Amino acid sequence: PMGSERMEMRKRQMAATQETPGAAQAQHGTGNRGSNACCFCWCCCCSCSCLTVRNQEEERARRASQELQAESIPNCEESPAPTLEEVNAWAQSFDKLMLTPAGRNAFREFLRTEFSEENMLFWMACEELKQESNKSVIEEKARLIYEDYISILSPKEVSLDSRVREVINRNMLEPSQHTFDDAQLQIYTLMHRDSYPRFMNSAIYKDLLRSLSEKSIEA
């Protein structure tokens, strides 16, 4: 009886051993399927989520760039629409162009297409500085002009030679309305010789002149 009982126990152990790998394999297979399904879903959701986040970040960056650009470009001067006589006068000399707000606005629009609008902005800032009489206001405006247009770290830095820069650095020790006079003259001359001739041949000027001429004929 003892022998037969032992034989019976051995058979049960062998049967259990044979069933275990199959069960383990089945469980492992099920686990893999579950893991794969879960992994697939996670990857899918993750990729969708990543795309959404990336699109949102790109949209925020685009809006921030537009806002920064809008802030960095001051509004044009207020002025009435130019007359045909005024626009014709702009062709006579650069001085006549720069005398009127309408002329400066048109020229500034052209400079913007050439990525040199900072020259006009600097010249206008210097003109504004000359109108100040309060010492603290003069010092603050001079500091801002230096940071915006003279500093080599500024994206709006204007092109000045070393002599003029040395003059400005000396003048900044005690800023006045005339701290940037030499630099303003140099930029004025640069716009006159370099940009003004191209402006006179530009579509901006020619279209404006043609439009006013047509209105004059109709009237």
82 or 60: whose pLDDT is higher?
82
Report the 10 Å Cβ neighbour count for 181: 17
- 57-83 mean pLDDT: 59
Q: Helix 162-171 crosses helix 181-190 at what angle (to 10 degrees)?
A: 150
One-letter amino acid at 30 equals T
State pLDDT tens for residues 80-136: 899 999 999 999 999 999 999 999 999 999 999 999 999 999 999 999 999 999 999
Domains, the chain, ordered by start: 84-218 (1.10.167.10)
Q: What is the mean pLDDT of the chain?
A: 80
Per-residue confidence band for 24, with pLDDT thresholds at 50, 70 and 90? very low
- 193-218 mean pLDDT: 95
Per-residue confidence band for 51, with pLDDT thresholds at 50, 70 and 90? low
State the DSSP string of 8-65: HHHHHHHHHHHHHHHHHHHHHHHHHHHHHHHHHHHHHHHHHHHHHHHHHHHHHHHHHH
State pLDDT tens for residues 183-204: 999 999 999 999 999 999 999 9
Q: Is a pLDDT exceeding 90 seen at residue 218?
A: no
Q: Is a pLDDT exceeding 90 seen at residue 61?
A: no
Q: Is a pLDDT exceeding 70 seen at residue 10?
A: no
State the DSSP string of 77-127: PP-PPPPHHHHHHHTT-HHHHHHSHHHHHHHHHHHHHTT-HHHHHHHHHHH
Closest CA to 209 of 76, 102, 94, 116: 102
